[in-house]
Amino acid sequence: MPLALLALAVGAFGIGTTEFVMMGLLPDVASDLHISIPSAGHLVSAYALGVVIGAPLLAAVTARMSRRTVLIALMVLFVVGNTLSAFAPGNGSLLAARFLSGLPHGAFFGVGAVVATTVVPPERKARSVSLMFLGLTVANVAGVPVATLVGQRLGWRATFLGVSVIGLAAIASLAFLIPRDRAHTPSTGLRGELAALRPLPVWLAFATTVVGSGALFAAYSYVTPMLTDAAGYAETSVTLLLGLFGVGATAGNLLGGRLADRSLRGTLFGGLACLVVVLLLFPLLMRAQWSAALAVTLLGMAAFTTSSPLQLMVMEKAAAAPSLASSANQAAFNLANAGGAWVGGVTLAAGFGTTSPAVAGAGLAVLGLGVAWVSYAVDRRRATPSVGRVVTSHVPEGAEALRP
């Protein structure tokens, strides 16, 4: 595999770290800024909002630029946002800095996925995308726990300074390892690229991402109370258990990339089906500590098996605008984050029990399978020629003159 994928993985590692580390730092940030933890929770939402807005916007604005230049510029914006977060004097400025940090997230993964598929043979496209996402999953194994520990020992501001250093390392890696390319001049223009997102199959692919990934976040957003209240773990053990989720996600991501190169659609259906089974078993597995640890690992593995297939499917559906479509898919993934967490919260508020968000997630995964199947049916219908076309194409030349 080309070293360019290593540069993309370094950037993904930094982005994954800054996205998820805020969850572990909320009490420290709230205490330092003299705000409540629910108010500090808006910092997570501000980042997600930045991703949703920035992903399609930045991808569209930079569509004519060299992709290497775009990736470097996005990481510069990432470093600026995290540095401003480190020096934010109050909650308002920190909210703005977190929003700024989220802006380059989706566009980086979107443009990066396109670059990853251009530096490998066609039969390794899914694997190359999975190696880029490897930085994101490894961030959950090592980056987030270490960054959280640094924040608890040296203060949360030191965490964001450390993330900024990772961003600088990513900029250097991108500059040295990503092949130089020319600026793009798409014949369709920006309006044509936006038009490439209009067809129904593209939106069905986005819907599969939103619903299928929402299944993960319905359960994962509330995995801590499941582990402490249902499985009986101490709160101090949760960080290690979330590391197991990262291990499972890393394994699932690599497995999904390898399998998707053989059958993209089959890997997607298989991953969503496994996610349904794992989430339905959650209430049973959370009754003992050893099985709860297994459940968290399997959740990460099943969910991230679908990451590369989903990304490639969107790029294939909108082949005229792969960077824009790929970036928009990252916005869809963050909508899944917010929507899935809301669905899981509704079940808890209704009093269905600590593990009820996992069951709700299983329902979303089933719905995701349904959307994926509709997408498959639409593709088959479009690919099948009409009977009239088949008959006409087989009429011998001059036969029309012989008909009465």
* Contacts of range 96-101, beta carbons closer than 8 Å, 24 or more positions apart: 96/46, 98/22, 98/43, 98/46, 98/47, 98/50, 99/46, 99/47, 99/49, 99/50, 100/50, 101/18, 101/47, 101/50
pLDDT tens track for 94-111: 999 999 999 999 899 889
Q: How far is residue 332's CA from residue 223's CA, in Å, rounded to a whole number? A: 22
pLDDT tens track for 259-285: 999 999 999 999 999 999 999 999 999
Is residue 151 within 8 Å of 18, Cβ to Cβ? no
Average pLDDT, the chain: 86
**Whole-number Cα distances in Å, 272 to 207, 224, 275, 276, 295:** 14, 23, 5, 6, 16
Domain range list for the chain = 1-179, 192-384
Q: How far is residue 212's CA from residue 362's CA, in Å, rounded to a whole number? A: 9
The domain covering 192-384 belongs, at the CATH homologous superfamily level, to MFS general substrate transporter like domains (1.20.1250.20)
Of the pLDDT bands very low, low, confident and very high (cuts 50, 70, 90), residue 328 is confident
pLDDT tens track for 329-348: 888 888 888 888 889 888 88
Identify the residue whose tokens are 């709700």.
360
What pLDDT sits at residue 388? 47
> What pTM does this model have?
0.81
The whole-number average pLDDT for the span 236-246 is: 83
The whole-number average pLDDT for the span 26-35 is: 85
Q: How many residues does the chain have?
A: 404
Q: What topology does CATH give the domain 1-179?
A: Growth Hormone; Chain: A; (1.20.1250)
pLDDT tens track for 174-216: 999 998 876 655 545 567 667 778 888 899 999 999 999 999 9
Do the domains at 1-179 and 192-384 have one common CATH topology? Answer: yes
